Amino acid sequence: MIEIKNVSFRHENADEGSIHDISLTIPDGQCVLLCGESGSGKTTVTRLINGLIPHYYEGEIQGEVIANGLNVTSSELYETAKIVGSVFQNPRSQFFCVDTTSELAFGCENMGMPEAEILSRIDRVTEEMNISPLMGRNIFELSGGEKQKIACGSVSALQPEIMVLDEPTSNLDLNAIEELKETVLKWKASGKTIVIAEHRLYWLREICDRVICTQNGRIAFDMTMTDFAALTEEERAAYGLRPLFNEKGVRPVGNFSGTKTMTLNNFNFSYDKDEALNIPKLEIPIGSIVAVTGNNGAGKSTFSRCLCGLEKKFKGTVTMNGETLKSKQLLKKCYMVMQDVNHQLFCETVEEEVQLGMNDENAGDVQKILAELDLDGFAERHPMSLSGGQKQRTAIASAMLADKEILLFDEPTSGLDFRHMEQTAELLSSLKSKKTVFVVTHDPELISRCCTHILRIENGRATEFYS
């Protein structure tokens, strides 16, 4: 059982608290969905349960959290880790080893288990989760979905009684989400208590027993999944929540009449001897907004890095406006928002971060885009002190104001709620005919709201391109 008793928390140096006087009881074996807008407090709740607050994320805390009889608030993290397992939004942030087999063994070794027991647990987890083909692999060569599987496997090997997942599907394709769903169902069948903080709701409809929505650091509602499913989409959207029922057969918005094209030539790239990309020639309308889709590991991120000129060994070119551009020239023409925006936030304040790529500072433009992305109240905050969704919007704002002809966004709506996804879609739409935009995404709602074309990549090849 999880008991959160009258807990309030304010991060160190923050002006306002993240949550205010929250009380919850989650019985053994229950699967709970935590939802709400970005910055509403749901991630804070997960960090209270797994002990990261207050032991890692320091601040002022009132109340206490009890997990299966253990006072998480006052206990050491290693004690909590025996009871509560965590899967984070970015699985790389919880890896300690270079190869996958060692990663599955790491937690068990850290707990001082005998070697025979560790090997037995690895065998059981790899069989139950169907991840045997991933064993003995370099973690840094795995796709986002494969990394998520290893993160789940390493936690499952510890056999904790409580599982906490924070935005686990934010960078996963539909197939990987289905595989994660099967994993969570197995955990649930074994009697584990599961808490999932998530923006993508549809995959949890048949898993979760209960839905708790946070708003401005408080509980907005707490109801059964049956009652939640009975709400209209408009009622859910009022809380900033995405649809509960998945959109099928997504199509781009189209409505693009540009006639000039840019030609991608010899987009071929290999990691050592493994071919990652093979696109001999592809024409893209200049000024279009192109959704780049495909399964995890299909080559989408490699395509983006080559297009930006970030891969030094890449020999392909882009021809546009009568000019043939190689890697060095592409670096000057392109701006990319990475999948993990923590790697590209450099400044002391959000306002400085947004201005970083501008040639000529224009305070009016800066204030306008901060307001459009609900960041105007955070202008003086340090970017790394923001929530995941707020960091994502900061990086997007910086790209929007960069004086570049080609913009690339790798999963720009990762961690964004419904309202902020719509705001991002509107901003991207405003770039149509002004910039050429590539959006690597698994988000069908984003595609249907702003993209003019879809480029599908599978096994490093362009299998479809249509409007």
Rounded to whole angstroms, what are the CA distances from 348 to 13, 189, 370, 379, 382? 14, 47, 16, 10, 5
Task: Yes or no: say if 423 and 368 are a contact pair by the CB < 8 Å rule.
Answer: no
pLDDT at 362: 67
Kindly indicate the confidence band of residue 442, based on its pLDDT and cuts at 50, 70 and 90: confident
Whether the per-residue pLDDT at 285 is higher than 80: the answer is: yes
- My answer on whether 427 and 342 are in the same domain is yes
Sheet of 274-285: strand order equals: 274-285, 261-271, 317-320, 323-325
Whether the per-residue pLDDT at 247 is higher than 60: the answer is: no
Is 184 within the bounds of a domain?
yes
The phi and psi torsions of 249 (rounded to 5 degrees) equal: 60, 45
- My answer on whether 189 and 315 are in the same domain is no
Per-residue b or e along 358-377, where b marks 16 or more CB atoms closer than 10 Å to that residue's CB: eeeeeeebbeebbebbbbee
Mean per-residue pLDDT, 106-121: 92
Give the H/E segment covering residue 9.
strand 2-11
Mean per-residue pLDDT, 286-308: 91
Is 302 within the bounds of a domain?
yes
Rounded to whole angstroms, what are the CA distances from 90 to 39, 160, 385? 17, 20, 17
For the ranges 46-55, 275-284, 338-347, 371-380, the lowest mean pLDDT is seen at: 338-347
The phi and psi torsions of 265 (rounded to 5 degrees) equal: -115, 135
- How does pLDDT run across 19-56, given as a tens digit for each residue? 999 999 999 999 999 999 988 899 999 999 999 999 99
Whether the per-residue pLDDT at 8 is higher than 90: the answer is: yes
Structure tokens at 169: 């599907």
User: Strand runs (DSSP E) across 286-371, as ranges?
Assistant: 289-293, 317-320, 323-325, 334-337
- My answer on whether 388 and 342 are in the same domain is yes
- My answer on whether 180 and 318 are in the same domain is no
Q: Minimal CA–CA distance to 252: which of 84, 93, 451?
A: 451
Residue span of the structural domain in which 159 resides: 2-237
CA angle, 22 then 180 then 88, to 5° = 45
Provide, rounded to the nearest whole percent, the portion of the chain with pLDDT above 70: 98
Mean pLDDT of the chain: 89
Is 378 within the bounds of a domain?
yes
- Show the DSSP H helices in 232-293 as ranges: 233-237
Count of CB atoms situated within 10 Å of the CB of 152: 24
Mean per-residue pLDDT, 128-150: 85
pLDDT at 343: 79
Domain of 55, CATH number, reads: 3.40.50.300
Kindly indicate the confidence band of residue 320, based on its pLDDT and cuts at 50, 70 and 90: very high
- Could you tell me which residues come within 8 angstroms of residue 63 by beta carbon, excluding any fewer than 6 positions away? 4, 5, 6, 7, 8, 21, 22, 23, 73
Whether the per-residue pLDDT at 85 is higher than 60: the answer is: yes
- My answer on whether 293 and 188 are in the same domain is no
Question: What single DSSP character describes residue 199?
Answer: S
- My answer on whether 220 and 294 are in the same domain is no
- My answer on whether 314 and 215 are in the same domain is no
Whether the per-residue pLDDT at 250 is higher than 70: the answer is: no
Whether the per-residue pLDDT at 248 is higher than 60: the answer is: no
Kindly indicate the confidence band of residue 274, based on its pLDDT and cuts at 50, 70 and 90: confident
Structure tokens at 96: 């300690």
State in Å, rounded, how far the first CA of the chain is from the last one: 51
- Domain boundary among the residues 204, 237, 270 is at 237
Kindly indicate the confidence band of residue 249, based on its pLDDT and cuts at 50, 70 and 90: low
Query: Distance (Å, rounded) from C-alpha 275 to C-alpha 458?
Result: 12
One-letter amino acid of 25 = T
Question: What single DSSP character describes residue 443?
Answer: -
Helix axes 363-372, 388-401, angle to 10 degrees: 140
- My answer on whether 227 and 300 are in the same domain is no
- My answer on whether 203 and 282 are in the same domain is no
- Domain boundary among the residues 221, 237, 253 is at 237
Task: Yes or no: say if 450 and 289 are a contact pair by the CB < 8 Å rule.
Answer: yes
SS3 238: coil
Is 454 within the bounds of a domain?
yes
- How does pLDDT run across 251-272, given as a tens digit for each residue? 777 677 778 999 999 999 998 7
222 beta partners: 212
Structure tokens at 23: 């009380």
Rounded to whole angstroms, what are the CA distances from 67 to 1, 70, 91, 107, 288? 6, 5, 23, 20, 51
DSSP letters spanning 67-91: ETTEETTTS-HHHHHTTEEEE-SSG
Is 212 within the bounds of a domain?
yes
Read off the pTM: 0.79
162 beta partners: 84, 193
- My answer on whether 284 and 336 are in the same domain is yes
pLDDT at 346: 87
Structure tokens at 350: 């959000």
Strand pairing category for 323-325 and 210-215: unpaired
- My answer on whether 213 and 295 are in the same domain is no
- Could you tell me which residues come within 8 angstroms of residue 26 by beta carbon, excluding any fewer than 6 positions away? 1, 2, 3, 32, 193, 195, 210
Query: Distance (Å, rounded) from C-alpha 14 to C-alpha 83?
Result: 30
The count of domains in the chain is: 2
Is 78 within the bounds of a domain?
yes
Bigger pLDDT: 374 vs 118:
118
Provide, rounded to the nearest whole percent, the portion of the chain with pLDDT above 90: 53
Mean per-residue pLDDT, 267-291: 92
Bigger pLDDT: 213 vs 146:
213
Residue identified by tokens 């929540």 is 241
Query: Distance (Å, rounded) from C-alpha 372 to C-alpha 387?
Result: 17
- My answer on whether 199 and 299 are in the same domain is no
pLDDT at 451: 94
Is 242 within the bounds of a domain?
no
Strand pairing category for 453-458 and 436-440: unpaired
Mean per-residue pLDDT, 330-334: 91
